[in-house]
Amino acid sequence: MAELKLTKVGKTYGGSVEVLKDIDLDIKTGELIVFVGPSGCGKSTLLRMIAGLEKITGGTLEIDGMVVNDVPPAQRGIAMVFQTYALYPHMTVYDNMSFALKIAKKSREEIDEAVRKAAKILQLEEYLDRLPKALSGGQRQRVAIGRSIVRDPKVYLFDEPLSNLDAALRVATRIEIAQLKESMPDSTMIYVTHDQVEAMTLASRIVVLADKGIAQVGSPLDLYERPENEFVAQFIGSPAMNLIPGEIVGTGAQTTIKLDREGVAMSNVATTEADVGLKVNAGVRPEDLVEATGESYLYDGKVALLEALGEVTVLYFEPEHGRDPVIGKLPGIHDDLRGREVRLTADPAKVHVFHQGQSLLYR
Amino acid sequence: MHPALQGLLTIVIGVGGCVGYFYFSNVLLDRVIFPARGRDMGRNINRANMVRPWLFLFPAIFALGLYLAYPVAETLRLSLTDRAAGGAFVGLANYQQMMAEPKFWEALRNNFMWLLIVPAAATGFGLLAAQLTDRIRWGNLAKSLIFMPMAISFVGAGVIWKLVYEQRPVDVEQIGVLNAIYLALGGAEPQTWMTIPLWNSIFLMVVLVWIQTGFAMVILSAALRGIPEETVEAAIIDGAGPFQIFFKIKVPQIMGTIMVVWTTITLVVLKVFDIVFAMTNGQWETQVLANYMFDKLFSANDWGVGSASAMIIMLLVTPILAWNVYNARKEMR
């Protein structure tokens, strides 16, 4: 039930070390926004600034139209779930969940009702008398989430909540968070992760942070299908998108790129006469590369390494000096391609064109 | 020989003797008694490994036996004998005599008061200092200053504080800080602080609190730093104020350490002797058990009652010691 508006928000440590600058972002009620980015990009810092645990050194943060830069965390109407759970080790599950309400001097009945309700949602009813150390990792994280629910905040903040869980629990808890969001369609959530599967599955919109700022904001599939720049193109999707250098030779509704090492890429990105001769990178996702049947091909190379996963086969081609190897991902089993020359091509609709790091789609 | 040379020689012989003992006894075990060769090689190695811990523990066990276990047994024996009667066995007569002395009850009562006040005050101030010095820039300097009294001997501290409590005639400038302040605040005439019953005991306790606060602070400061920062941040988001964070989040998380510090200081308090001996020698109703014991043993030359009081002190210390060790072990896990 809350809108957030970040205007030119920045963070500088000690007056000289700038970690974030000019972050502009509008978050609407009921959205689940995911911040992703490489380590050290400031995504956790941004979340902590929204929470009020870090001071905002530039710009303004508004929650529901009110500037909250100098409002203490407890009065911002936010609740936060930490990566390390941050449960109070000396309190039972019940006391952990009721602590905020006790501080707020709510009546005993009110507290009891809120805690029991949250415990029921999270299936923690039988653990209410236990201390955190007697719980498993997944249960602890549910208690941490319960502690947030009890406060009925306007905005939920999650700081890498699944990082400390093992792989199986991570999937289960991720689904629980998705269901929780379903059951509370009006609550706004902000979620920080470095795991793009979490980002893709949970987010209504993803904010990719890089180099002190926002690289792109959009729905998960938006980022996947229409990345604005090479950073987002390579960050979203695994393995990362191939970038193959070349030069534009044909323009129009369809662009023809002659690649530096033989091969021709066709792309549905429109270009004009003026673009002829422009140095560009053709971007193709590994999963969009298919074996070429005709004469024309996009890429031709020798398979250096092959990973047969059953469902797909990942081909790593011999790298050219100084560049990442081109990677192909073919559906099904292709065990026989090991060490062979393979010719690949791609649907023009799936070929991206980048000039100086920016996608020509967004000119 | 020059005393410094003597000291050096003692150190060389002492340390060399230790190293020599461990080295040569080990060689003897491995080469001569159970040599790792011949027909029984495997069995010999196993046997040598079984003997080795005891070999290395021997000096410590011997020293503890000689200086700890034997004196306890001997003190118990002495407390049941009478020197005047040539060391004859007198049963519990010494204890009965001691119980009849008002000075013993005074000592016991004072010890009890020390027990209530000093550990609480030292731990409390230590906790306060630990929390307050943790976040300020010159905190480390403040910590060193607070810790410094730990380096001063109890007698030295007693002498320093005796000067603080010193009094001079009213027309002379006061050299005692307490009297100087007292007069500056409008006191009529300088007080002889050490002779005012009850207050004088408290003035003596201040000395021990002054010494032990540094100890408490160092241990508790380390414990406070061990608290996960996220739990504090979670409490901030939950709306807790600084006092609630301190008392409801931080203190409960280091309760185990607080108990260890508390009981450790309690043990020091039960054995307190030097401060009382140096400052009042138990006069003006400031007697404590350890000083009472010293009086009986070495001033009155009455080994019977002196030993009896020593046994009482040990009786009081033992349960607290056991609890202290139990708590400390729990903390280490």
Cβ atoms of A172 and A2 closer than 8 Å: no
Supply the DSSP string of A245-283, one letter for each residue.
EEEEEE-BSSEEEEESSS-EEEE-S-B-GGGTT-EEEEE
B231 touches chain A (CB under 8 A): yes
Strand pairing category for A264-267 and A255-259: antiparallel
* B221 three-state secondary structure: helix
Buried b (16+ CB within 10 A) or exposed e, A91-130: bbbbbbbbbbbbbeebeeeebeebbbebbebbebeebbee
Contact B234 A78 (CB under 8 A): no
Task: Tell me how far apart the alpha carbons of residues A55 and A2 are, in angstroms, rounded to a whole number.
Answer: 21
Domain boundaries, chain A: 4-235, 242-362
Task: Tell me how far apart the alpha carbons of residues B253 and B38 are, in angstroms, rounded to a whole number.
Answer: 59
Task: Tell me how far apart the alpha carbons of residues A85 and A138 are, in angstroms, rounded to a whole number.
Answer: 10
Residue type at position A211? D
Q: Hey, what CATH class is B94-332 in?
A: mainly alpha
Structure tokens at A137: 């990792």
Smallest CA–CA distance, residue A115 to chain B, in Å, is 14
End-to-end Cα spacing for chain B: 51
Domain boundaries, chain B: 3-79, 94-332
- Considering only CB atoms, B237 lies closest to which of A79, A88, A89, namely A79
Over the stretch A61-89, which tens digit does the pLDDT of each residue have? 988 888 988 898 888 888 999 888 889 98
Contact A88 B237 (CB under 8 A): no
Angle at A79 between CA A197 and CA A8, to 5 degrees: 75
Share of chain B above pLDDT 90, in %: 17
CB atoms within 10 A of CB B51: 14
User: pLDDT digit of tens for each residue in chain A (363 aa)?
Assistant: 578 888 888 888 887 888 888 889 999 988 999 999 888 888 888 999 998 898 888 888 988 888 988 898 888 888 999 888 889 989 999 999 989 888 888 889 989 998 998 888 888 888 998 998 888 888 888 899 889 889 888 899 999 888 888 888 888 888 888 888 888 888 899 999 988 888 998 999 999 998 888 989 999 999 999 999 999 999 988 889 999 999 999 888 889 999 888 888 889 988 888 888 889 999 999 999 988 887 788 888 889 889 999 889 999 998 877 788 899 999 988 888 888 888 899 998 999 999 998 888 887
Distance of alpha carbon A11 from the chain centroid: 21
Judging contacts by C-beta atoms under 8 Å, the chain A residues touching residue B333 are none
Residue type at position A77? G
- Domain range A242-362, its CATH number among 2.40.40.20, 3.40.120.10, 2.40.50.140, 2.60.120.380: 2.40.50.140
B74 touches chain A (CB under 8 A): no
Cβ atoms of A314 and A285 closer than 8 Å: no
B164 touches chain A (CB under 8 A): no
A53 touches chain B (CB under 8 A): yes
Smallest CA–CA distance, residue B257 to chain A, in Å, is 14
- Domain range A4-235, its CATH number among 3.30.70.250, 3.40.50.300, 1.20.1250.20, 3.90.950.10: 3.40.50.300
Cβ atoms of B194 and B279 closer than 8 Å: yes
Residues 6+ apart with CB under 8 A from A71: A52
A211: left (phi over 0), alpha (psi -120 to 50) or beta: left
DSSP state of B69: I
Over the stretch B131-159, which tens digit does the pLDDT of each residue have? 888 878 888 888 888 888 888 888 888 88
Contact A52 B237 (CB under 8 A): yes
